[in-house]
Amino acid sequence: MSELQNKVKELFEKNEIDLFIGYEKGTRKPRPVFVSKKEDIENLIFDDNCSGNLAVYLTRKDLVGGKKAGISASYYALKSIAQLFDENQLKEENLRVLGISKEGKVKLFDSAEEIKQHLTETPPPAKLEDDELVRKMDAMTPSERWGFWTDELSKCFKCYACRSACPMCYCTKCIVEVNRPQWVQPWAGTISNMEWQINRVMHLAGRCSDCGSCGAACPLGIPIHILTHKMAESVKENFGEADGNGNVLSTFKPDDKENFIH
Ligand code: SF4
Ligand code: SF4
pLDDT in tens, 135-173: 999 999 999 999 999 999 999 999 999 999 999 999 999
Q: Name which of 114, 121, 200 is nearest 153 in CA terms.
A: 200
Q: Model's pTM, two decimal places?
A: 0.93
Q: Supply the residue whose CA is at minimum distance from atom 8 of ligand 1.
A: 211
With a Cβ cut-off of 6 Å, ligand 1 is lined by 53, 80, 165-168, 204, 208-214, 225, 228
- Residue-by-residue DSSP string for the chain: --HHHHHHHHHHHTT--SEEEEEE--SSS-EEEEE-SGGGGGG-B-STT--S-GGGGGG-HHHHTTS-EEEE--HHHHHHHHHHHHTT---GGGEEEEEE-TTS-EEEE-SHHHHHHHHHHSPPPP-HHHHHHHHHHHTS-HHHHHHHHHHHHTT-----HHHHT-TT---SS-GGG-BTTB-S-SS--HHHHHHHHHHHHHHTTTT-----HHHHH-TT---THHHHHHHHHHHHHHH-S--SS--TTT---TT-SSGGG-
Could you report the per-residue pLDDT of 38-85, keeping only the tens digit for each? 889 999 999 888 989 999 999 999 999 999 999 999 999 999 999 999
Which of 166, 199, 218 to mutate for ligand 1's pocket (most ligand atoms within 8 Å of CB)? 166
Q: What is the pLDDT of residue 243?
A: 61
Closest by alpha carbon to 59, among 88, 33, 93? 88
Q: Is the per-residue pLDDT at 182 higher than 80?
A: yes
Q: What is the pLDDT of residue 238?
A: 82
Task: Tell me the HSE value of 225 on the side-chain side, using a 13 A CA sphere.
Answer: 21
Q: Which of 162, 184, 203 to mutate to test the pocket of ligand 2 (most atoms within 8 A of CB)?
A: 162
Residue nearest to atom 8 of ligand 2 (CA): 156
Alpha carbon dihedral 44, 45, 51, 52, in 10-degree steps, equals: -20
Q: Whose CA is nearest to atom 4 of ligand 2?
A: 159
The average pLDDT across 187-191 equals: 91
Task: Considering every ligand atom shown, identify the ligand nearest to the alpha carbon of residue 188 and give its number.
Answer: 2
| Cis peptide bond upstream of 30, omega within 30 | no
Closest residue by Cα to atom 4, ligand 1, is 208
pLDDT digits (tens, 9 = 90+) for 78-119: 999 999 999 999 999 999 999 999 888 999 999 999 999 999
150, 151, 157: residue to mutate for ligand 2 pocket, most atoms within 8 A of CB: 157
Report whether 147 contacts 194 (CB < 8 A): no
pLDDT tens string 193-251: 999 999 999 999 989 999 999 999 999 999 999 999 999 888 888 877 766 566 777 77
Sign of CA dihedral 62, 45, 123, 129: negative
Q: Whose atoms come closest to the Cα of 223: which ligand?
A: 2
Residue nearest to atom 7 of ligand 2 (CA): 156
Q: What is the pLDDT of residue 162?
A: 97
257 has a pLDDT exceeding 80: no
User: What is the model's pLDDT at position 9?
Assistant: 96
Cα(124) to centroid of ligand 2, in Å? 26
User: Which residue, judged by its Cα, is nearest atom 1 of ligand 2?
Assistant: 218
**Which amino acid residue places its CA nearest to atom 5 of ligand 1?**
208
Indicate which residue's Cα is closest to atom 3 of ligand 2: 156
Distance of CA 207 from the midpoint of ligand 2 (Å): 20
Task: Tell me what pLDDT residue 262 has.
Answer: 67
Residue 10 has pLDDT above 90, yes or no: yes
Pocket of ligand 2 (CB under 6 A): 156-162, 217-218, 220, 222, 224
Q: Which bound ligand lies closest to the C-alpha atom of 224? A: 2
